[in-house]
Amino acid sequence: MQNLQDFRFANPIYETLWNRDRVESVQITVAETLGREGRAGYSEEAGALRDMGQNHLTQLLALTAMEIPGAFEADAIRHEKVKVLRSVAPVTPGDVVLGQYTRGQIEGQDVPGYREEAGVAPDSRVETFVAVKVQVANWRWHGVPFYLRTGKRLPRRVTQVAVTFRCPPVSVFQPFDACEIHSNVLVLTLQPDEGFDLHFEVKMPGQPLTLQTQRLHFRYAEAFAPLPDAYETLLLDIVAGDQTLFVRADEVEAAWRLYTPLLEPPPVHSYPAGTWGPSAAEGLPAQEGHRWCVPEARSGHERQ
């Protein structure tokens, strides 16, 4: 999360593009391969919306969409995060898809369905996956959809933010059938294998004229050393008295205002373990002509 802030505010080339004029959509994914792993009692009471949606996903939304703070200090940053959450338009049940994993395979291993986990009711309707479409109704982001999703028993563990930029308004390559232009996409991988990937179009050698998507690639572990565990960082911040990464009471309240109307949840769709969630979740970005980005095995993402 700190790297996300530094990337935005230390690189004007991206900050000048970080708005509704240049950005088409934003996707935030927090995926886990684990199931309930002995926490079924808590899971049966909470579910993915309470457990991950209103905190982890919402924190990443706020950090991605916030304005530049007046100073790089805890209160200034938290002021801006609260402003983002208060600008989010009300989320309706039609903007949410919930899911629950069934038996499937992850990395070649058979895994049980959620209802087969110890301590889970055989008729449980608790969600293990949630996808939400939100709109940040402020000057910077008006009209730009933010797609958020998190789930258990997904194909791989990854947390990433994918920013899709708008295509050129007019394509000069229309006479060339093989020259379909794809959007530039900036992928910020927060864990594991932290780093950035910028996907862009290049001309393939030879004739006829053909464009291909390539990427610029950066990884912290390659340039420096593996980053410390998240809890190590938080414990060090506690010792140092740095509250930047800790939420404030009004921030928590603003997040719950968004999700409280959804606590009477819509139907829960099933999805096999080892997939990217229920097929109904594809409908959220499809409404705007978009698709979910599919994270690669190690880093970055690939288009469907």
Pairwise CA distance, residues 128 & 50, whole Å: 10
How many Cβ atoms sit within 10 Å of the Cβ of residue 218?
A: 14
Both tokens assigned to 157 = 């563990």
Run of H or E including 286: helix 283-286
Pairwise CA distance, residues 40 & 250, whole Å: 30
Pairwise CA distance, residues 235 & 221, whole Å: 22
Dihedral pair phi/psi, residue 201, rounded to 5°: -100, 140
Q: Where are the beta strands (DSSP E) in 84-194?
A: 96-102, 104-106, 109-111, 129-135, 145-151, 158-165, 185-191
Does the annotation mark 56 as catalytic? Answer: yes
Residue from 56, 79, 182, 269 carrying the catalytic annotation? 56
Q: Which active-site residues does the annotation give?
A: 56
